[in-house]
Amino acid sequence: MNARHALVALERLMARALDILAPRACAGCTTLGVHDTFCGPCTERLNAASREHHALTRVADLALLSLGPFEPPLSDAIKQLKYEGRTDLASSLAELWWSCCRSHVGACSVTLVPVPLHPARLVARGFNQSALLAARLAGLSGQRWDAGMLERVRDTDQQARLTAELRRLNLARAFRAHQRRHGAMRIVLVDDVVTTGGTIAACAAAARETGLTVHAVWALAHAQRRSSEHARNDINSLGVAPPKTAPQLRSP
């Protein structure tokens, strides 16, 4: 056995030992002892939701790619990531996104730009979940990512508490975009959850003021269903044929 094989064997042994000493919990229902992000029943629920969910839709006049609707078990996993410090879920959820949505991703070069947090909120939370997702998605897609191209300059009220109109007013001039030395002009906005599209619209407006082109939006979940006609229009505009059936996650 060479050194590489020995290292792989050691990593597997350590992973099994860790599962025994500190069992992994399902990101949806928190059942202990799972070997993947979700347990079997939660995986089936996510697959059932994905069959009814249009992965490619529109929000704020932009193409939106999302893993599923914002409902359990996906919503539970996102809440654990954001509010319970489960930063380990960012990589797993990004990998699920990629496995389900990659067929809609074009070949053009883009820079992934996470929706930013205000510095005060970033300090309070300790991380930006959108940046964690963008970093992993960049690795999976082979694209560049840059957390410094967008800046949140106003510490706004939390969007979840507001109506659609108040969200729009709340986010007016809340973001500022910056051109970077690497000269990226085409960007993809990355966020964990998209609801009314107010945050995305404000980010896109700031980006366009700096001469950037917003190519699309990648998000884990979409809280509002869009029509199948919108989905077909987006697919046609990107020149990508949709899969006949939604990709399914394997039950553990």
Q: What is the pLDDT along the chain (252 residues), one digit of tens a residue?
A: 567 667 666 666 655 555 556 678 899 999 998 888 999 999 999 988 888 788 899 999 999 999 999 999 999 999 999 999 999 999 999 999 999 999 999 889 999 999 999 999 999 999 999 999 999 999 999 999 999 999 999 887 665 566 666 666 667 788 999 877 666 689 999 999 998 898 999 999 999 999 999 999 999 999 864 444 444 444 343 333 344 444 555 544
Q: Which pLDDT does position 225 carry in this prediction?
A: 47
Backbone angles phi, psi at 113, to 5 degrees: -125, 115
Q: Which pLDDT does position 246 carry in this prediction?
A: 47
C-alpha torsion sign, points 74, 80, 83, 88: negative
Within a domain: residue 25? no
Which residues are CB-contacts of 88 (< 8 A; sequence separation ≥ 6)? none
Residue 144 region, left (φ>0) first, then alpha (ψ -120 to 50), else beta? Answer: beta
Within a domain: residue 134? yes
Within a domain: residue 4? no
Within a domain: residue 93? yes
Which residues are CB-contacts of 175 (< 8 A; sequence separation ≥ 6)? 116, 150, 151, 152, 153, 202, 203, 205, 206
Within a domain: residue 15? no
Which residues are CB-contacts of 165 (< 8 A; sequence separation ≥ 6)? none
Strand 111-114 relative to strand 144-145: parallel, antiparallel, unpaired? parallel
The tally of domains found in the chain comes to: 1
Instruction: Tell me: cis bond preceding 69? Omega within 30 of 0 counts.
Output: no
Strand 111-114 relative to strand 186-194: parallel, antiparallel, unpaired? parallel
Gyration radius (Cα) of the chain, Å: 19
Within a domain: residue 245? no
Domain CATH number, residue 220: 3.40.50
The residue segments making up the domain with residue 211 are 53-238
Within a domain: residue 70? yes
Within a domain: residue 89? yes
Q: Which pLDDT does position 249 carry in this prediction?
A: 55
Q: Which pLDDT does position 138 carry in this prediction?
A: 97
